[in-house]
Structure 1
Amino acid sequence: MRFTPSILGKLVEPINRRRFQTIVDSHGGDAYDKSFRSWDHLMVLIYAQLSGSASLRSLEAGWNANGQHHYHLGSDVLRRSTLSDAGRRRPVAVFAEIFGLLANQLDRQTRREGTAMLRLIDSTPIPLGKLCGWAKSNGRIRGMKMHVVYDPNADCPRILDITDANVNDAQVGRTIAIEKGATYVFDKGYCHYGWWTTQIAAAQAFFVTRPKSNMGLEVLSERPVKVARGDGFTVLDDAEVSLAGKTHCKLPIKLRRLIVKRQDGDTITLLTNDLKRPAVEIAALYKGRWQIELLFRWIKQHLKIRRFLGNNDNAIRLQLFAAMIAYALLRIAARTYRIAMPILRFTDLVSQCLLERRRIEAINKPPPINSSRRRDRTSPNQLGFDYE
């Protein structure tokens, strides 16, 4: 009889086990917890994300109640104390590298199609409870920040970093490896002249952002606006500018300033080093930045990153990376099996059928009737014997 893996078993297939073990060995991931390996840890956290387990007790009960699947997942029985110890000691770099590999898998098809590289950069706060007294505050929230470089064409984060809440966005932006020819869209929180000049412009890449209110700009020449009206906005002005006065040496590159009026009546100013794109297209790129906000909303609503399975810094980081690994696996499965339904419905069905043995492409259909079951050959019109 042909073996049919569970939905969870099919989801984790894109993670190459040999490559995974190489990463674990390079970081010493199994140095302290040999009975509960890094693979066991990852499987348990992915299960927790997709099943909706909100506590160590419920996770232990749900995982151990399905022991018949442990062999095929390459895992074993779970104990709460073991998971807590692993959360404190296992290197976060193991899960971070696995997420990077999965993000590259999602990006391959986009590169083959020759789509223009667009990257959206932003961060979202991760508030932590009072039990995490070690968490730092930025004046608004106490907790952490999740920094993301998002590829809207592949619908997946390309780079993920987790920092304390008081870390400046521009500080993380300077650590991003810039891709030649890509366009980076971000808000005014990533204002850093040195990063714009020595990394983005030097790599022959482009940026679209909003200047801070105290940034003095001097108009060098006006540019004609051939097409002013876009989808929900109108370009009022397009000009080549530079930093005014002696501050010009801090940003010695050619810049364009666009003044855009939104449909709701607000007017915003955009700044870019792209001198070739039409003004209406640049304004549309910045408008598309809302896609990363939708990503953050989806993550917070459908992944378990509001309540954590540990109160220490390391365990929380591991769970955040596991959440994003689960997100990437769902996107890979939807693309591999050509799932036509909305991703929200697909995610809900996966959580309901996580350990059922059925095909992912038929997850929204009832399982087939077992043809080997013996059929009742009696006729309803036939008389039967009744013994008293």
Structure 2
Amino acid sequence: MRFTSSILGKLVEPINRRGFQRIVDDHDADAYDKAFRSWDHLMVLIYAQLSGAASLRGLEAGWNANSQHHYHLGSGRLRRSTLADANARRPVAVFAETFARLAGQLDRQARRDGRAMLRLIDSTPVPLGKLCGWAKSNGRIRGMKMHVVYDPDSDCPRLLDITDANVNDAQIGRTIAIESGATYVFDKGYCHYGWWTAIAEAKAVFVTRPKSNMALKVIRKRRLKVAEGDGFTVIDDATVRLASKGDSKLPMPLRRLTVKRADGDTITLLTNDRKRSAVAIAALYKGRWQIELLFRWIKQHLKIRSFLGNNDNAVRLQLFAAMIAYALLRIAARLHRVAMPILRFTDLVMHCLFERRDIAAIERPPPVNPSRSKPKTNPNQMAFVYG
């Protein structure tokens, strides 16, 4: 009979084993945990994400209960003490680089489509419990922060960074490699004039909101051709310059848009884009809600509210494992042309991780085994026959 891999086995196929081992060798990640290799660690943490395991004991029991599938995953049995040690010592860079490669796979499809490069930038807090006394506070929460550069076309973060909660968003924004021709959309937390200048010099575009204390001088008013958008109205379009008297400098003119939303609120936008219409620029900023939906989905469907370790390294590993699971679900949905909503697909995967069935037909019950032949003997062969 032809072998059929489990749902989990098919999900992890996009992770190239040789490429992963090169990452492990580069960081000498198996130096202290040779009995529990980095591949074992990755498989277990992906399973923890997709199965919803909330504790080391529960993860150990669930994983070992399916030991018949370990061979085809290239892994083995789990001891929670071994996992706890690996969580504390294994280099986070192994999981971070693995996620980056998976994100690159998702991005290739968007590049083939020839679409304009749109990048949404934002961060979300990751609160940690009282057991994580080492975690830093930003005045509102004590924990960490996940910084994301999100590509809405490929539906996957292209860049991911995890920092302490008190790290300023603009500090991380300045480390992002700027892509020529891309459009970056972010909120007022990423206000840094030097970074804005670098984006413009790289022939890229940004759309953001100014801080309330940013003084701007109007150079000229721009003519509004079409003012009505989807749920908003652009009521002003002007070319402006920074009017600060201090050391802050912004050696380029900007466009300032005043937009009235359907709820009556008015917001101000700043951009260096002189070609797009005012309505198109306002629509770009409105589309920033997609990254908020990403954060909401991650927090609702992946395990980043409770952690399998209370040290810094364990938390970071689990966050990257969550994003690896997210990327694998997206890749599987595309490769197998899953037509159902991603939320339903995720729920079905969580319930069928070790079932041997086709991902494309995951919502249908598995077929009956046709190799099981009918008995050749007559069940009534020992019965008396009276003539």
Cα contact 1:242–1:248 (8 A) shared by 2: no
Residues in 2 aligned to 1:372 and 1:240: alpha-carbon distance in whole angstroms: 74
Residues in 2 aligned to 1:383 and 1:236: alpha-carbon distance in whole angstroms: 91
Residues in 2 aligned to 1:373 and 1:24: alpha-carbon distance in whole angstroms: 44
Matches within 5 A, 1:312-323: 312-323=311-322
Give the deviation of 1:371 after TM superposition: 1.5
1:357 paired residue number: 356
Matches within 5 A, 1:193-204: 193-197=193-197, 199-204=198-203
- Quick one: which amino acid aligns to residue 227 of structure 1? V
- Quick one: which amino acid aligns to residue 50 of structure 1? L
- Quick one: which amino acid aligns to residue 279 of structure 2? V
1:178 paired residue number: 178
SS of residue paired to 1:250? coil
Residues in 2 aligned to 1:247 and 1:263: alpha-carbon distance in whole angstroms: 37
Any gaps of 5 or more consecutive residues in structure 2? none
- Quick one: which amino acid aligns to residue 348 of structure 2? L
1:99 paired residue number: 99
- Quick one: which amino acid aligns to residue 92 of structure 2? V
Give the deviation of 1:73 after TM superposition: 0.4
Any gaps of 5 or more consecutive residues in structure 1? none
Residues in 2 aligned to 1:208 and 1:64: alpha-carbon distance in whole angstroms: 50
Cα contact 2:199–2:205 (8 A) shared by 1: yes
Structure 1 residue 276 and structure 2 residue 275: aligned? yes
Listed one character per residue, the Cα deviations across residues 144-166 of structure 1 (whole Å, up to 9, x for unaligned) are: 00000000011000000000000
Give the deviation of 1:254 after TM superposition: 2.0
- Quick one: which amino acid aligns to residue 283 of structure 2? A
Residues in 1 aligned to 2:52 and 2:163: alpha-carbon distance in whole angstroms: 25
Cα contact 2:193–2:248 (8 A) shared by 1: no
- Quick one: which amino acid aligns to residue 112 of structure 1? R
Give the deviation of 1:279 after TM superposition: 0.3
Listed one character per residue, the Cα deviations across residues 33-63 of structure 1 (whole Å, up to 9, x for unaligned) are: 0110100000000000001111000100011
Matches within 5 A, 1:221-260: 221-246=220-245, 250-260=249-259
SS of residue paired to 1:307? coil
Give the deviation of 1:386 after TM superposition: 7.9
Cα contact 2:219–2:238 (8 A) shared by 1: yes
Residues in 2 aligned to 1:337 and 1:74: alpha-carbon distance in whole angstroms: 23
Listed one character per residue, the Cα deviations across residues 304-360 of structure 1 (whole Å, up to 9, x for unaligned) are: 000000000000000000000000000000000000000000001101000111111
- Quick one: which amino acid aligns to residue 152 of structure 2? P
Q: 1:386 to 1:61 in 2, by over 3 A?
A: farther
Residues in 1 aligned to 2:11 and 2:248: alpha-carbon distance in whole angstroms: 52
Give the deviation of 1:246 after TM superposition: 3.7
- Quick one: which amino acid aligns to residue 148 of structure 1? V
Give the deviation of 1:275 after TM superposition: 0.6
Give the deviation of 1:375 after TM superposition: 3.1
2:64 paired residue number: 64
Residues in 2 aligned to 1:208 and 1:327: alpha-carbon distance in whole angstroms: 27
Residues in 2 aligned to 1:186 and 1:31: alpha-carbon distance in whole angstroms: 41
Residues in 1 aligned to 2:83 and 2:266: alpha-carbon distance in whole angstroms: 52
Residues in 2 aligned to 1:25 and 1:378: alpha-carbon distance in whole angstroms: 59
Residues in 2 aligned to 1:16 and 1:351: alpha-carbon distance in whole angstroms: 23
Residues in 2 aligned to 1:43 and 1:249: alpha-carbon distance in whole angstroms: 49
Listed one character per residue, the Cα deviations across residues 217-255 of structure 1 (whole Å, up to 9, x for unaligned) are: 000011111010000000000000000154596100120
Residues in 1 aligned to 2:44 and 2:237: alpha-carbon distance in whole angstroms: 53
Residues in 1 aligned to 2:170 and 2:69: alpha-carbon distance in whole angstroms: 45
RMSD: 1.8
Give the deviation of 1:373 after TM superposition: 2.0
- Quick one: which amino acid aligns to residue 305 of structure 1? I
Matches within 5 A, 1:56-205: 56-197=56-197, 199-205=198-204
Residues in 2 aligned to 1:362 and 1:177: alpha-carbon distance in whole angstroms: 40
- Quick one: which amino acid aligns to residue 221 of structure 2? E
Listed one character per residue, the Cα deviations across residues 73-127 of structure 1 (whole Å, up to 9, x for unaligned) are: 0001100110000011100000000000000000001001101100000000000
Give the deviation of 1:28 after TM superposition: 1.2
1:292 paired residue number: 291
Residues in 2 aligned to 1:158 and 1:225: alpha-carbon distance in whole angstroms: 35
Percentage identity across aligned positions? 79
SS of residue paired to 1:291? helix
